[in-house]
Structure 1
Amino acid sequence: MIRNNYSYPIFSDWSKDELIKVVKLYRSVEDAYEINQGSRRDLILKNYQIFTKINPSKMEQKQLEHKFYLASGYNIFKTWQKARKSNQEMIKM
């Protein structure tokens, strides 16, 4: 399911650098769903780790993940779980 007309969920208190880093996670998850070969496993894991450092609150992480899912239909947590459990270089959802 490719949806091009949605906004990424963000928090207004993020710095420009933090915003860029979180968008990298969103894009790597989108790639796992949208691109035939999927998304690079190492990028998903790295971007998710950065995401959790920017948003250390589990509640905030879940809020953002839920908003992203509602907007895109793509599940960040399930993508991260698959990447974490896999030995494959590319992750396809």
Structure 2
Amino acid sequence: MEYSYPLDLSWTPDEMVAVVDFLAAVEQSYESRIDITELKEKYDRFKKVCPGKAQENNIYKDFRKASGYDGYPVVKKMREELKTGAKQISMTK
């Protein structure tokens, strides 16, 4: 894909990596499948960089505009599937 990830230039390189890793995992969930444990770990690192809901939602919005992929439904599905013991999730139909 040819698009940019939404990044804040005030973040450290490690924080940027955490955000990009999570957004790449969101992308993977739409394009194929992702291990739910891996997704949860990446989301947890992402939340350390973006702990607030408003900032999280802004990143989702910017990423959706750039890529067409939305992080919110991925995280919602991840939370639901963690309760069922699922090993992977996919946003494909």
1:16 aligns with 2:16: no
Unaligned runs of 5+ in 2: none
Unaligned runs of 5+ in 1: none
CA drift at 1:57: 2.3
Match of 2:55 in 1: 60
**What is the deviation of 1:48?**
1.4
Give the TM-score of the pair, scaled to structure 2: 0.88
Mapping of residues 41-52 of structure 1, within 5 Å: 41-52=36-47
Q: 1:84 aligns with which of 66, 79, 83?
A: 79
Under a length normalisation based on structure 1, what TM-score does the superposition of the two structures give? 0.88
CA–CA separation in structure 2 for the residues paired with 1:47 and 1:75: 15
Percent sequence identity over matched residues?
A: 31
Deviation at 1:73, TM superposition (A): 1.1
Q: In the alignment, residue 88 of structure 2 is paired with which amino acid?
A: M
Which runs of structure 1 show a deviation greater than 4 angstroms over 4 or more consecutive aligned residues? Answer: none
